[in-house]
Every structure is written in structure tokens, then in C-alpha cells.
């Protein structure tokens, strides 16, 4: 028996310390709910779980991003719904104006409402925002384009590639324009319409009544008012130069718009009146449409149609480009660029995005900025233009609906992925409470037994002391 080293107590204490360390770890796992609380618990498991945790948090944020994207799209779609309702109302008014039971005053009243509705379409285009980001002014289009001062790109389809497009052989469309011959000296010298002169002047199917006693200024005012309704500009001239009506000796008529569908047809039912105003038998003119040659950048199947100075280019791949030619336009290169479309991050990693493109929706891009229903012809034309505008708005809304459905699917997929990854991460990181409680109970028993045995081992030296005393 030895007293210098109590080997039994040392051995028992060593085992007891190990049990207590393991018991402390078990208590830590039970109190935190995690199997891995520090790298030493499972270094490989911790590395894997942290990568999974990054993916889970990324997927959850991506789901929220997609939900924000849906909110943005719903904002734009709501504004477009109102724009489409306005276009429907304008079409209704155009149909009303096309009925010849309306007087010119009735059509002018209808035109005033249409003008207000056009202003509202433009206001919606400029002011619709989501989180201060404008949506319908063209800043959210997939592509943009650089224009020069004479040739403008009005709109393009998604199929138009980012590159340069060259046009040559540009010929500008013309307006219909006519000029009367020299008017009667009796009128230009301050005279009045005589009984023999009184009659009707017909301008593009619309009558202007010239009455006995009217002077030249009054006749001009009647003609000018009617021409305003017909989108025709009338100017007094003296020897071919602009002049005041009091000094003029002829009148020039010019359509405001360009194109082969623009015409001027003026005649009178009174030959004496026609002669006095320099109309003669009739004044007739028709405008022409613009023309050009599609060169570099356009596909071999690309063709165009022109309406006045508006050029509509398309091919069999879905390529569509609307070009507007200004006075003096010539050969030009049009550059299509990447733009500031809305990019939504709908994944946990780099490059997992979706681009949302929302075109400009204004009266100009819809082609209804020059609507005028003050004549039956103008009302008929307006109906067709508004049909095209409504179809365009519907197409944009349909595209936004497709984006929204895609994002709904993305959210469901992201949420499912996040849930599955969370389950996998839980198997690595979370503690099995039942198993750990069993382990803790075992360690508690071992700890209590170790304490008892350590007490017994510490009593051994006392037995040796008793032997020495005896």
C-alpha cells in the first residue's frame, strides 16, 4: 500500500473530468437545440451547414425579390388598365363622331373630350412609378436607341437586335397643298359678297356657306374654321408671300399631316363665287408617302410600309421597328442599345435573374397623338387608329401578365427549394432531443458514480494511517 500517489483517486478524477466535459457539451446541445455549436463539434458539418444557410437565406430573399417584382408589374398593369379604358372611351367617341347626325359643333365638343383623354394618357405614361422608378415612360424598355435630328425611332419589338441599322435613298412624304389663283379685286379691295356670288364652298366634303354681304375677312374666317376641323392649314398670300388677309390676293391650303391618304378637294357650287375666290373649277391635291431603302443591319426578308412620314419595318422573325422621318431627313444610321430595363434577382446566386421590359405607352407610341374627329373621315380614321392602340396596350398587358405568372412560379419554386434545403441543413446542424436526453441521463449517472468512487479513493490513505497507529 502506498501513500505518496493515490493512483485510484487520480484515475477516477480523470474519468470524472471527461464525463463532466461530455455532460457540459450535452447540456449545451440541449439548451441551444443545435448539434453543432462550434467548429470543434463537427468541422466538416459546420462548413456544409454554413453553405446551406447562405443558400437558404439567398432563396428566401430571392422569393421576396420576386414578390416585389410582381408588385411592380401590378402597378404598371393597373395603369395600363386605365389607359386601355381611356382608349376604349375615345373609340366610343370616335364611333359617335362618325355619325353624320352630328353637327360640326357636336364634333368639336367631342374633340375637346378626346383632347383631354389624350392628355390623361400622357400623364399616366409620365407619372406611373414604383418606388420612385418610372414604369411607362420608356425607361424600363429592354432596349433604347439613339436618334438624330431628322430620323427618329418611335418603337421597336423585343426581336430587334442591339446593333446599327442603316437606311438610304430617303424620300420624305409630302403634304397635299394647293394655292388659289388671284382673287377678285372687288373682294381684295374691301368689297363684299354680292347676291350673285353667294353660295357654298365645299372643302373635302364639308360645306362652308358664303353669304351675301360677307367681306373677305369674314369669308376667310369661315374657311379657316372649317379647315382647322379638317387638319388643313390655310394661309393668305400676296404675290406668293405670306401676308395679312386684308392685303392678300390668294389663299394657300396645306394638309397638316403627310401622306398619300392626305387630300385637298375644294370647289364651289357657284361659278361666280369660285372665280371671285380664285378657286376655278376646283382645287385638288394629294400628298405622298415617304420611301427609303433598308440597308445594313436589316434582314433580307425585311420590308416596310409607309404612312406619311412614318415607316413600319418588319420581317418574318418578329422584328418590328417604327421610324419617323422629319423634314430634311436623308441617309442615316440608327443605333439600338441595351437600355435600363428592370432586372429582378430571383435566385440565390449570381446571374439568376429575369429581365422585365415595359415599353413607353404614350399617345405618340400608340399612334393617337393627332386624333381629330371633327369630320366623318377623321372619325373613321380615328376608329382604326384606336383599334391599333387598344391592341398595342393589350399586347403590353399580356406580356406583363406572362411576367407575373413566371414570377409566381419562381416564388413557388424558391419556397420549395428553401424548405427542402432547410430540412437538409437541419439534419446536419440540429440535435435529436430524444437521443441527446438519453445521452445526458447516462452521463449524469456516470458523473454521480464517479463522484462516489472518487470519495472512496480519497478514503484509502486513512486506512493506511489506521495501520500505522496500530
**pLDDT one-digit tens code per residue, 29-61:** 877 777 777 777 778 888 888 888 899 999 999
Q: Which helix (H) or strand (E) element contains residue 253?
A: strand 250-255
Residues 89-115: b if buried by 16+ CB within 10 A, e if exposed: ebbebbeebbeeebeeeebbebbeebe
Contact in structure between 200 and 210 (CB atoms under 8 Å): yes
Q: Which helix (H) or strand (E) element contains residue 245?
A: none
Q: What number is the average pLDDT over the span 277-303?
A: 91
**pLDDT one-digit tens code per residue, 376-397:** 888 999 999 999 999 999 999 9
pLDDT at 235 over 60: yes
**Domain-embedded: residue 202:** yes
Other beta carbons within 10 angstroms of residue 58's beta carbon come to 18
Q: Which helix (H) or strand (E) element contains residue 470?
A: none
Q: pTM, whole model, 2 decimals?
A: 0.63
**Domain-embedded: residue 409:** no
**Domain-embedded: residue 238:** yes
**Domain-embedded: residue 211:** yes
Non-local CB neighbours of 375 within 8 Å, separated by 6+ positions: 107, 204, 205, 206, 229, 230
- Which domain, by its residues, includes 203? 177-286
**Domain-embedded: residue 114:** no
**pLDDT one-digit tens code per residue, 304-360:** 999 888 999 999 888 988 888 888 888 888 888 766 678 889 888 888 888 888 888
Residues 288-299: b if buried by 16+ CB within 10 A, e if exposed: bbbebebeebbe
Report how far residue 63's alpha carbon sits from residue 69's, in angstroms, rounded to the nearest whole number. Answer: 10
**CATH label of the domain that carries residue 252:** 3.30.70
**Domain-embedded: residue 129:** no
**Domain-embedded: residue 96:** no
Report how far residue 224's alpha carbon sits from residue 210's, in angstroms, rounded to the nearest whole number. Answer: 13
**Domain-embedded: residue 361:** no
Please give the distance of CA 62 from its chain centroid, rounded to a whole number.
22
Report the domain count for the chain: 1
Amino acid at each position: 500500500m502506498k501513500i505518496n500517489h493515490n493512483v485510484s483517486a487520480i484515475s477516477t478524477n480523470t474519468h470524472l473530468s471527461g464525463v463532466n466535459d461530455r455532460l457540459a457539451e450535452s447540456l449545451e446541445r440541449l439548451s441551444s437545440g443545435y448539434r453543432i455549436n462550434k467548429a470543434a463539434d463537427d468541422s466538416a458539418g459546420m462548413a456544409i451547414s454554413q453553405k446551406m444557410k447562405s443558400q437558404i437565406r439567398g432563396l428566401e430573399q430571392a422569393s421576396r425579390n420576386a414578390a416585389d417584382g410582381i408588385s411592380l408589374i401590378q402597378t404598371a398593369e393597373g395603369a395600363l388598365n386605365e389607359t386601355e379604358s381611356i382608349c376604349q372611351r375615345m373609340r366610343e367617341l370616335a364611333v359617335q363622331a362618325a355619325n353624320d347626325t352630328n353637327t360640326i359643333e357636336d364634333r368639336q365638343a367631342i374633340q375637346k373630350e378626346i383632347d383631354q383623354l389624350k392628355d390623361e394618357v400622357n400623364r399616366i405614361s409620365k407619372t406611373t412609378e414604383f418606388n420612385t422608378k418610372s414604369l411607362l415612360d420608356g425607361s424600363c424598355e429592354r432596349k433604347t436607341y439613339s436618334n438624330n435630328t431628322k430620323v427618329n425611332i418611335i418603337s421597336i419589338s423585343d426581336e430587334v437586335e442591339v446593333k446599327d441599322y442603316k437606311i438610304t435613298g430617303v424620300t420624305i412624304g409630302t403634304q397635299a397643298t394647293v394655292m388659289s389663283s388671284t382673287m377678285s379685286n372687288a373682294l381684295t379691295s374691301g368689297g363684299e359678297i354680292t347676291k350673285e356670288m353667294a353660295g357654298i364652298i365645299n372643302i373635302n366634303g364639308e360645306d362652308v356657306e358664303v353669304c351675301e354681304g360677307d367681306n373677305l375677312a369674314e369669308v376667310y374666317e369661315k374657311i379657316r374654321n372649317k379647315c382647322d376641323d379638317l387638319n388643313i392649314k390655310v394661309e393668305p398670300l400676296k404675290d406668293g408671300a405670306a401676308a395679312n388677309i386684308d392685303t392678300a390676293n390668294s389663299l394657300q391650303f396645306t394638309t397638316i399631316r403627310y401622306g398619300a391618304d392626305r387630300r385637298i378637294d375644294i370647289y364651289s357650287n357657284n361659278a361666280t363665287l369660285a372665280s371671285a375666290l380664285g378657286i376655278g373649277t376646283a382645287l385638288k391635291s394629294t400628298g405622298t408617302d415617304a420611301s427609303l431603302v433598308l440597308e445594313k443591319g436589316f434582314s433580307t426578308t425585311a420590308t416596310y410600309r409607309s404612312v406619311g412620314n412614318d415607316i413600319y419595318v418588319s420581317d418574318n422573325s418578329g422584328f418590328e421597328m417604327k421610324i419617323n422621318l422629319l423634314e430634311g431627313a436623308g441617309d442615316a444610321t440608327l443605333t439600338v442599345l441595351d437600355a435600363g430595363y428592370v432586372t429582378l434577382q430571383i435566385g440565390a446566386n449570381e446571374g439568376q435573374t429575369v429581365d422585365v421590359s415595359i415599353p413607353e405607352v404614350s399617345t405618340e407610341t400608340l399612334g393617337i397623338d393627332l386624333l381629330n374627329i371633327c369630320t366623318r373621315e377623321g372619325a373613321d380614321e380615328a376608329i382604326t387608329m384606336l383599334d391599333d392602340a387598344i391592341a398595342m396596350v393589350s399586347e403590353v398587358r399580356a406580356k406583363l401578365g406572362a411576367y407575373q405568372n413566371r414570377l409566381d412560379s419562381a416564388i413557388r419554386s424558391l419556397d420549395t427549394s428553401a424548405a427542402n434545403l432547410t430540412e437538409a441543413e437541419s439534419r446536419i446542424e440540429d440535435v435529436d432531443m430524444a437521443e441527446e436526453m438519453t445521452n445526458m441521463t447516462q452521463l449524469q449517472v456516470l458523473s454521480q458514480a464517479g463522484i462516489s468512487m472518487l470519495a472512496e479513493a480519497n478514503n484509502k490513505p486513512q486506512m493506511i494511517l489506521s495501520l500505522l497507529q496500530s
